[in-house]
Amino acid sequence: MLYKLDHILNDIETSIQDKKPFSIARLGDGDIKLLFSVQNGGVNSWKFRQQGIPFNQANWIYNLYRISCNNANYVSSFDMYFDGSIWQRPMSKGMRKKISNWKEIYAKAGITNMNYCSPEVGFLFFLDEPKNLLTIMKNKKICLITCFRSVEKKLIDQGFNVSSIIVPGRNQNHFRMYKSTIKAIRKQATKYDVFLVGAGSLGRGYSNCVKLHGGVAVDIGQVFDAWAGYPLAKRVKRFLVRTKSLTFRLTERTKQFRIFF
């Protein structure tokens, strides 16, 4: 079942209030390509290098995805990219074939969780609306898992109570810090009301660790990039624009589709 944004936000809010463990496994196209490459006996060297994972850890990361996705409250569905709505996006033939076969790729990977969400839910959590993830997090204790040190200050300037666990960025040896990061999460999982995670492929493991140890983790992915001052990802530029705060606004063309997500 594909759950809508408002339902997931309510679930996050309830989980924070009731101190109920929670996580989202928010996968994107790159994650589908990674799973596909391992399944077909070839490692996507560019993807592994970008994520800071050694090639010889392909099976390890493959299993990490399976475990994290199956333990999550929600996992990404990709059907929306092919329904002809605002989500439709240009893709190469190879990319289209992989993503259109996402259910088969999930099945081969042993991902059986069918509580589906939009892969763009990270951005949608911060729509410029009366209720969003920012309003839910007001007066809450927040931990960021990100490579962007500057984002903590931006949230503090907006009045949030924030600390950070800093991880390596793209094309760095992220894997060598994985165990120490997991150790830090275990010690602090219930110290914070919510963890915001944006840490690439290894972030799936961080979100899962938070939930396993009693905390609430929300994977927001490239929202951290946008907050750090980088351009919006090309795939979302068509339906989102920045506001002067930390939120995003639907473009005029896409406002009419709000009811569908």
Query: In this predicted model, what pLDDT tens digit does every residue of 99-128 receive, in sequence order?
Result: 899 999 999 999 999 999 999 999 999 999
> What's the confidence (pLDDT) of residue 6?
97
Contact indicator for 168, 147 with CB cutoff of 8 Å: yes
When pLDDT is averaged across residues 239-256 and rounded to a whole number, the result is 92
Q: Which domain holds residue 236?
A: 1-261
> What's the confidence (pLDDT) of residue 205?
98
What whole-number distance in Å separates Cα of residue 131 and Cα of residue 128? 8
> What's the confidence (pLDDT) of residue 91?
80
Tokens describing residue 187: 């010690």
> What's the confidence (pLDDT) of residue 248?
97
Count helices and strands (H / E) in the chain. Answer: 13, 9
What whole-number distance in Å separates Cα of residue 189 and Cα of residue 245? 28
Q: Which residues pair with 195 in a beta bridge?
A: 143, 217
> What's the confidence (pLDDT) of residue 231?
94
pLDDT tens string 148-182: 999 999 999 999 999 999 999 988 999 999 999 99
> What's the confidence (pLDDT) of residue 165?
98
93 pLDDT more than 90: no
- Cβ atoms within 10 Å of 128's Cβ, excluding its own: 17
> What's the confidence (pLDDT) of residue 64?
97
20 pLDDT more than 90: yes
pLDDT tens string 196-233: 999 999 999 999 999 999 999 999 999 999 999 999 98
43 pLDDT more than 90: no
- pLDDT above 90 covers what percent of the chain? 77
What whole-number distance in Å separates Cα of residue 68 and Cα of residue 230? 28
Ranges assigned E (strand) in 126-202:
141-146, 161-166, 194-197
Contact indicator for 226, 242 with CB cutoff of 8 Å: yes
Ranges assigned E (strand) in 17-73:
24-25
How many domains does the chain contain in total? 1
pLDDT band at 132; cut points 50, 70, 90: very high
DSSP type of residue 56:
G
pLDDT band at 27; cut points 50, 70, 90: very high
